[in-house]
Structure formats: C-alpha cells, structure tokens
Amino acid sequence: MSYKGEKNNINSYQLSDKINPLTIVGLILLFSVVLTVGGEYQYWIALAFASGLLLLFSLRKTLSTILTLAIIWGILYLLKPYLGSVFVGSIYTLLLIIIKFSPIFILGRALSSYSSSHLIAAFRKIGIDGGIGIGITVFFRFIPEISIRMKEINDGMKIRGFKASIFKPIKTFELYFVPLMYKCIDISDTLTCSIISKGIEYDGKKTSFHEVKITFIDIAMMIGGMILLGASLWKIF
C-alpha cells in the first residue's frame, strides 16, 4: 500500500499494518515504569524512541508534538528564576510532570493513529471484546463528532441570540450540553440499530479485516523496551 498522506483527507495508517497495536500498548506499560523509577538517560532514550515511533505514523503529529514539548521546555527555563513564588513553583512542577510523562502521551498518540477497527481486532486477539471493544470503537468514532456538534450548537446559539457567560454558569451549561446530550441519545440509538442489523449479536467467531500478527519489528521493539526497563530497575537493586 502506498503512502498517500493526510492532506488528501485519507488516514495514513499504512505503517500500522506492520506494527501490532498491542506492541504499543505493551510499550506504554513498560515506559510507565521506566519513567517512574528510571534516571535521566532512560528518560531521554524513552522520549527519543517514542518520537521516532510516532514519526513512522505521522510527520505532522511528530512535529506538532516536538513543538509543544519545546514550548513547554522554554516556559520552564523562563520560570526557573522565579521558583521562590508558590504559584510559579506549582505551575513549574506541573509542567515538569507533563514533560516527564510525555513519552507515554506520545505513544498514546501513535496508538490513536490506528483505525478503531484495527484496534478492536488487536484487543479481540487477547480476549478483550464485548462492552470494552464497543467502547473503544465508539471512543474513536465519537471524539471528532463532539467538536462538530459543539460548533453546530455554537452556531445555533449565535443565531438565536443566546450568549455563553461565565457569570451564568448553569444557563451556559444548559445551552451547550442539553442539545449535545439529546444528540448522544439519538446517535446511540441509530448506532445500535445499525450494528444490530450488521450482525454484531451473531454468536459465532468474529474475524478481522485487519491482519494482527506479531512480527520481527514487534519483538525487537518489546525487547528494546524491556532492556530499558531492566536498566531502570538495575539502579534500584
């Protein structure tokens, strides 16, 4: 499959065909321990690894992530001289914690590059199906929908002459979220009818359009992650 690129509004997840989503899930688990107990070198290796992996999926996402991290680092350097102030110090610490866990967030971003169907196929292989599987599919299906709906509601409010106000929080909440929640009810009913009619309740083995297998690349990545974990734990013991 050739790489078509996001500018054609086509999801460019072709490389995900080669990397098993469960590998990324595994790396998230490993890195969460590495980042908690590991040292400086382990952190930078984890960050470089995660960024490199994201680059395989999307240049745009990698660049935006690096830019975000660079901005946060810049803010940290600017705030450092003022650590005496409690307020500044607390913002500083929070940003540092975001930086600390950024390799995991980057891996999460890489995971979101897969289509929901591909993720379900992977989770089904390890026995995660049913409500959780539907939940994950709906998550990816519905996340873009939320911003579209909120924009439509915003347009509707402008036309009606209703204004959001921080001094009227309950009214503002009612204006935005009541139409959104009714839309949720409608969409969930239609979605359910649709998947019922597509045989989701069929009591037979489910197959997958996407091939989910362990390749040499997956094994190599997991070994790399475990070596990093080993190096982090070595220092403790």
Partner 1 sequence: MENILEAVIKSFHYGEDLILKDLKMSVKKGEIIVLTGLSGCGKTTLLRLLNGLIPSFYDGDLDGEIKILGKDITTYKKGELAKYIGNVFQNPKDQFFCDVVEDEIALVGENLGLDRDTLKEKVEKAMDLLGINHISKKSIFKLSGGERQKVAIAGTLIYDTDIIFFDEPSSSLDYDSIKHFSEILLRLKAMGKTIIIAEHRLYYLKEIFSRLIYIKDGTICDVFPNGSLSNNKCKELELRTLNERELISEKEPIAAKSYIKVNKACIHQGKRTLIEDLTFELGESEIMGVIGSNGIGKSTLAKALCGLSEKYLDVSYGNKQRERLRNSYCVLQDVDAQIFLDTVENELIFCKDKNSESDLEKIREYLKDTNLWHKKTNHPQKLSGGQKQRLAIITSFLSGRKLIILDEPTSGLDYKSMKIMSDLTTEKAKEIPIIIITHDLELLFKTCHSVLMLGDNGYKKISVKGNEALIMDFMDKKGNLLKEENYVK
Partner 2 sequence: MNLKGIVKIAVFSVIGFVLTMGLGFLTGSFGMVPSLYLSSALPTIIVAPVFVIMCKQVAQRGAAFLYFLLLGVFYALMGMWPVIVVCAIAGILAELVIGKKENYSDKNMKVGFGFGAGMFVYSLHAMYFAFVFGVEGLTKQFPKMFTTDYATFLYNFYSPKNIVICLIIAIIASIIGAYFGTYIYNKFFSDRKKKSVL
Interface ranges with partner 2 (CB under 8 A):
28-29, 32, 35-40, 42-43, 76, 80, 83, 86-94, 96-97, 99-101, 104-108, 111-112, 130-132, 134-139, 142-143, 146, 170, 173-174, 177-178, 180-181, 184-185, 187-189, 191-192, 195-196, 200-201
Question: H or E stretch including 157?
Answer: helix 130-160
Counting beta carbons within 10 angstroms of the beta carbon of residue 148, is it exposed (0 to 12), middle (13 to 18) or buried (19 or more)?
exposed
Q: How many of the other CB atoms lie within 10 Å of CB of 30?
A: 22
Give the whole-angstrom CA distance, residue 72 versus residue 101: 13
Give the whole-angstrom CA distance, residue 146 versus residue 149: 5
Taking the least distance from each CB to partner 1, the nearer of 30 and 111 is: 111
Taking the least distance from each CB to partner 2, the nearer of 2 and 197 is: 197
Cα of 222 vs its chain's centroid, Å: 20
Taking the least distance from each CB to partner 2, the nearer of 37 and 220 is: 37
- The amino acid at residue 91 is I
Shortest Å, Cβ 205 to partner 2: 18
Counting beta carbons within 10 angstroms of the beta carbon of residue 88, is it exposed (0 to 12), middle (13 to 18) or buried (19 or more)?
middle
List the single partner that 127 binds among partner 1, partner 2, none, CB under 5 to 8 Å by kind.
none
List the single partner that 209 binds among partner 2, partner 1, none, CB under 5 to 8 Å by kind.
partner 1
List contacts with partner 1 (CB under 8 A).
Answer: 4, 9-13, 115-118, 137, 140-141, 144-145, 148-149, 152-153, 155-162, 174-175, 178-179, 182-183, 186-187, 189-211
Taking the least distance from each CB to partner 1, the nearer of 61 and 222 is: 61
Taking the least distance from each CB to partner 2, the nearer of 201 and 216 is: 201
Q: How many of the other CB atoms lie within 10 Å of CB of 50?
A: 25
